[in-house]
Amino acid sequence: MKNIKFLTLALISILSFNACSSDDDTLPTPVNEEEIITTVNVTLTPQGTEGTVITLQKQDLDGDGPNAPTFNVSGDLIAGVIYDGSIELLNETENPAEDITEEVEEESDDHQFFYTLNGGLDLTTTYTNFDNDGNNLGTEFTLEAGAASNGTLTFTLRHEPSKPNTGLSDAGGETDVEATFSLNIL
Amino acid sequence: MRLFLLMLLLISSQFAVSQNCTNTLTGTVVDLHDNSMLIDAKVTVSETQQIALTDFEGKFSISNLCNKTYTLEVYHAFCNSKTYKIDISGNLEKVFRLEHHLEELNEIILEGKHIKEITKTTLENKISKEELERNSAKSLGDVLNNISGVTSLNTGNTIVKPIINGLHSSRVAVMNDGLRMEDQDWGSEHAPNIDINAIDNITVIKGASALQYSGSAIGGIIVTEMAKTPVKDSLYGKTIATGSTNGRGGSITSQLTKSYKSGWYGKVQGSTKRFGDFNAPDYNLSNTGVFERSFSLRAGINQFNSGVEAYYSLYKVKTGILRASHIGGAEDQVRAINSAEPLIIEDFTYDIDAPYQDVEHQIARIKAFKKFNNLGTLNFQYGFQQNKRLEFDVRRGEDKDEASLDLKLSTHTLLLDLDSKISSTSKLKLGLTGQYQTNFADPSTGVRRLIPDYDKYNVGAYAILDKKINNQLLFEVGARFDYTYLDAYKFYRTSFWESRNYDTIFQDIVIEGDFGNQVLANPKLNFYNPSATAGVNYTFNDDYKLLFNYSLASRAPNPSELFSEGLHHSASRIELGDLQFNSETASKISLTLQRENNNFSFSINPYVNFIKDFIVIEPIEIQQTIRGNFQVWEYRQTNARLLGVDVNSAFKLTNNFKLNNQFSIVKGKDLSFNEALISMPAASTKNAIIYNNKKLNNLYLKLQSEYVFEQNEYPDNNFEVFIAETETTEIVDVSTPPAAYHLLSFNSSADFKLSNKTFLTVGLDVSNVFNTSYRNYLNRTRYYADELGRNFSVNIKINY
């Protein structure tokens, strides 16, 4: 008799469990990735009257999807000109696009941009913004174009680097952004 | 420790001066009903108060007996004790039969003490309660590593996933006291959610021959069981505490059982385990702590003809993942792999920070059985499982403390089977199973779902027949069929959807709507999976056995293989599944030659496993993203062959000294591409010398050497990446296995009687005695850090 009671209990529990699990047939909602960076915009504004504003863009709208990122460099740098540089990071999978730069700047202690030159490009970069401890952050910088040359400039954003550091080699951390642009100095 | 040694010395000197009577009584304690061996039966000589416990073969021996009549009391936990008068003149061998009540009564709970075979024609490896108790602070995977042919796929040292004969994850079924664990086992960094302190023994079946459990376990089946409760009025329990130096933590577990003569019983069990950062010989392994808690309740009634049991368990674990293993793209990977030490080493802490996993597993279950005179025993089981898995990554901004993965898997399982003896020589087992499973991936993580929402329905039926031809020969055949229906809702990136041509192949499963750059698909998949087994068991020359088994298993692809599409952060690679996969089918032939003898036992188990449409994941290209370059790994189906052999032997040197040896090797080959399969365990051998003296407080000393060879067969998946800062192209070596290594470990324990009913067992263990730095090919964090350094642990058990 007891067994029958238990079996009945078991059956009831199955039915009730099933009843509550087949609750709704509503469609799942899509996830908009909140952290993904789809776009890196670097704006170089000449300090003097010589030269024009130059923009560099790396964009990968499908994130980790199969489409390769696109690169766009609006023009050439002028030898001897000092540019004010600023970096903007966007998540364009959202509408309107989310400005990730703000997050990076809010967590300035945990982030740092690095600028790496390759292939004989003659220019120097200087950090112009810093974190709460006075260490380099680098979403803003100045760029001084040297003699006429060409090569590449790579912008690397590291998350949780060790600070202060002498450069990428001892910074550690994880790479959040890596954008390499081919540039000419005329 | 000094006191302990002193005590040992004192006790041993006592024995050295004992009487000069030299007769030895050896005996076997068996169950009156079916002649099965009774382990841990206590044999007491009333006159001399000598005590012996029976071993795994039900055997015991008492020496130093004089030529006279002795009174022997034989006692076993599940039997009424029995007294014998024995005339001793010279050495004597005798069989003692006890009436083992519970064997007949208790069908619900598979026996914990008995050696009972699950399959008749494959080699089964057991892990006893004693071994589980000795490893109380470890994980299921660690304990299973002690079996030849079983290795593990690790993530750090706390996420340990068993590999059986080279296969793991969805290819290995874990049966938790009759219920298959549904704990997101597709993930290679998802360990089984079982507390070993909640179970009483483990059996490993290498292969899919136990069709009553699963037809899809191409690798094998791990069967965990709980001990039965005696049908008598009693109250007993045990507590085990372990403390370890490496990780500066330990575990404590306690259980209490109350039983009544009427058949009613109840059991409550709880454990907690906490470790901080573990350390390698040369550095701290930052963020590798673990915090595990578990609790279970069991109550029921057992009567001769029927029984019912209700069970509930809750398991929670928070596991840190080596901080240095969380990296960005290929450029970070080069730095991490080329660095001799992990890139992030911080001071020891108990805190667990991102990346970490937080998993909760609950089981609620009801079992019942009823015996029918002409039919046999009917078993019924209903189980509900809920697995909640949260994974936390290193994140930025407002999402910093949010999980990156939030999955809830709920599973209802219904099992019905009938065990009948259709004649005196043949047994038939018939069964039906039904399962409903639903997975919910919480979108509030702000990270695209790794595994989509889905509903899965499964029905299965099986029949297994075994027939004894004569005392030497037994045949076993079985067949099973499973039908699975999967109904999923999955968001694909439009770019991926189109690159795979899914927009033409699967256009009718697309759900209309505006989802930005994503496509919502509703795949409804059907899988039909037949499985079968046939085998022979031949006994000859008394202690030799030859087992032959053929098994056919078929496994439907898991959600990860079907739906993966994106960056797998913990592996630093993009993983792509395929909606068009069909089931993989394995044919395994396994042969075992076994000798069971007191002086020299061995088993040799060669096998070959051909797997058609085997699903492997392999790198195909390098993909550029904003974060740099990532390797793209894609699942594909191929034909594979696994060939291997497991060897075990035990050699008795003297009454107290024993040598144990194990050797395993497995070779995996992708037959379509004619290359080695990735992540195959390297050959390994274990040799141990064991001293055990039952008379000397059951003193147990074991020195074990483990040698793991270098894996020399592996596919070359290395790739090149350009490093801007040095202007060089570097090879990212993700393929080359680490060098061979040798480890030495020491285990010891001794029992002390505190009072009539209270026993104390104290153990001291040392692992990695020489503090060797080494890396393990099958550890996912091997690129970044060494394995654990030396560890001392103390283990105290009180039975009351």
Query: In the prediction, which pLDDT does B30 show?
Result: 81
Closest residue to A10, CB basis, from B366, B448, B567: B366
Put simply, whether B628 touches A (Cβ < 8 Å) is: yes
Select from B80, B355, B145 the least CA-distant residue to B154.
B145
CA distance A114 to chain B (A): 10
Q: Which of A6, A28, A58 sits opposite B626 (nearest CB)?
A: A58
> Looking at the partner chain, which of B397, B574, B628 has a beta carbon nearest the beta carbon of A35?
B397
Q: Is A16 on the interface with B (CB under 8 A)?
A: no
B376 to chain A, closest Cα gap in Å: 17
Q: If you compute the radius of gyration of chain A from its CA atoms, what whole number of angstroms results?
A: 26
Three-class SS of residue B739? coil
Phi, psi of B488 (to 5 degrees): -120, 155
The half-sphere exposure of B126 on its side-chain side, counting CA atoms within 13 A, is: 17
**Any chain A CB within 8 A of the CB of B489?**
yes
Region for residue A51 given its phi and psi (left: phi exceeds 0; alpha: psi -120 to 50; beta: otherwise): left
Report the alpha-carbon angle B156-B157-B161, nearest 5.
Answer: 90
Q: Do A174 and B453 touch (CB under 8 A)?
A: no
Position B13 confidence tier, pLDDT thresholds 50, 70, 90: very low
**The two three-digit tokens of residue B371, written as one number:** 């015996």
Give the pLDDT confidence score for residue B80 in this predicted structure: 65
C-alpha dihedral over B516, B519, B522, B524, to 10 degrees? -160
Residue A109 has pLDDT above 50, yes or no: yes
Could you identify the residue written with the tokens 């090149």? B720
Q: Which of B29-38, B446-455, B524-533, B733-742 has the lowest mean pLDDT?
A: B29-38
Residues of chain B with C-beta less than 8 angstroms from the C-beta of A159: 328, 394, 396
State the residue for tokens 């915009």.
A41
Quick one: tokens of B788? 């654990």
Does the distance separating the beta carbons of A27 and B308 come in below 8 Å?
no
DSSP B157: T
pLDDT confidence bin for B33, thresholds 50/70/90: low
- Judged against a pLDDT cut of 50, whether residue B7 lies above it is answered with no
Least CA distance to A89: which residue of chain B? B626
> Is the predicted pLDDT of residue A14 greater than 80, yes or no?
no
A38 touches chain B (CB under 8 A): yes
The CA radius of gyration of chain B, in Å to the nearest whole number, is 27
Q: Give B564-615 pLDDT, tens digit per residue.
A: 988 877 677 889 999 999 999 999 999 999 998 889 999 999 999 999 999 9
pLDDT digits (tens, 9 = 90+) for B743-788: 999 999 999 999 888 999 999 999 999 999 999 999 999 999 999 9
Distance from CA of A49 to the nearest CA of B (A): 33
User: Quick one: average pLDDT of A116-123?
Assistant: 91
Measured between alpha carbons, how far is residue B562 from residues B291, B300, B524, B621, B672 in Å? 32, 41, 12, 19, 21
Q: What is the pLDDT of residue B35?
A: 65
pLDDT digits (tens, 9 = 90+) for B249-275: 999 999 999 999 899 999 999 999 999
Instruction: Name the average pLDDT for chain B.
Output: 89
**What architecture does CATH give domain A39-185?**
Sandwich (2.60)
Query: Is A172 in Cβ contact with B436 (below 8 Å)?
Result: no
Taking only the tens place, the pLDDT of each residue in A48-93 is: 888 899 999 999 998 888 899 999 999 999 999 999 999 999 999 8
CB–CB contact B326 A174 (8 Å): yes
Interface predicted TM-score (ipTM): 0.80
Query: Using the beta-carbon criterion (under 8 Å), do A31 and B624 form an inter-chain contact?
Result: no
Provide DSSP, B250-281. Answer: EEEEEEEEEE-TTSEEEEEEEEEEEE--EE-S
- In chain B, residues with a C-beta closer than 8 Å to the C-beta of A165 are none
**Option in A9, A18, A118 nearest B724 (CB):** A118
Q: Do A28 and B623 touch (CB under 8 A)?
A: no
Instruction: Quickly state the pLDDT bin for A25 (edges 50, 70, 90).
Output: low
| Chain A contact set for B324 (CB, 8 A) | none
For residues B720-730, average pLDDT? 84
Of A21, A93, A180, the CB nearest to B438: A21
Q: What is the CATH number of domain B19-99?
A: 2.60.40.10
Interface of B with A in 494-553 (CB under 8 A): 494-496, 499, 511, 513, 515-518, 520
CA distance B520 to chain A (A): 8
pLDDT at A70: 93
Contact predicate B462/B479, CB 8 Å:
yes
pLDDT number for residue B14? 41
| Partner-chain contact A13 B446, CB within 8 Å | no
Model confidence pLDDT, tens digit, residues B205-238 = 998 889 999 999 999 999 999 888 888 889 999 9
Instruction: Give the chain B residue whose CA is nearest to the CA of A69.
Output: B625
Fold topology of B124-222: Ferric Hydroxamate Uptake Protein; Chain A, domain 1 (2.170.130)
Residue A31: which of B308, B382, B448 has the nearest Cβ? B448
What tokens were used for B130? 């004693």
The answer to whether A116 faces chain B, any CB pair under 8 Å, is yes
Partner A contacted by B625 (CB < 8 A): yes
DSSP assignment string, B351-375 = ---SSEEEEEEEEEEEEEEEEETTT
Alpha carbon distances (Å) from B191 to A35, B140, B568 = 28, 9, 17
Confidence of residue B15 (pLDDT cuts 50, 70, 90): very low
**A6, A107, A174: residue with CB nearest B368:** A6
- For chain B, what percent of residues have pLDDT higher than 90? 64
**Residue-level pLDDT at B699:** 95
Q: How far is CA B356 from CA A130, B271, B326, B654, in A?
A: 31, 21, 10, 49
CB-nearest to A159 from B396, B414, B520 is B396
The tens digit of pLDDT for each residue in B383-441 reads: 999 999 999 988 877 778 889 899 999 999 999 999 998 888 899 999 999 999 999 99
Answer yes or no: is pLDDT of B692 > 90.
Answer: yes
B495 to A67: CB separation less than 8 angstroms, yes or no: yes
E strand residue ranges, B522-671: 524-540, 544-555, 565-568, 573-576, 584-595, 600-625, 628-652, 657-670
Mean pLDDT across the stretch B181-196?
92
pLDDT at residue number B329: 80
User: Which A-chain residues 122-141 have CB contacts (< 8 A) with chain B?
Assistant: none
Tokens of B14: 């006592």
What was the pLDDT predicted at B1? Answer: 47
In terms of Cβ atoms closer than 10 Å to its own Cβ (0-12, 13-18, 19+), residue B553 is buried
pLDDT band (50, 70, 90) for residue B21: confident
- Whether the CB-CB separation of B253 and B220 falls below 8 Å is answered with no
- CA end-to-end span of chain A, whole Å? 96
Mutate to test the interface with B, among A64, A104, A107, A157 (most CBs of B within 10 A): A64
Size of interface A-B (CB pairs under 8 A): 170
Residue of chain B whose alpha carbon sits nearest to that of A66: B496
Give yes or no for B338 touching A (CB within 8 A): no
**Residue A7's pLDDT is what?**
53
Residues of A in contact with B567 (CB under 8 A): 64
Domain map (residue ranges) of chain B = 19-99, 124-222, 223-357+370-427+435-799
According to the model, what pLDDT value does residue A137 have? 95
What is the number of other CB atoms lying within 10 angstroms of the CB of residue A78? 17
Pairing of strands A123-127, A140-145: antiparallel
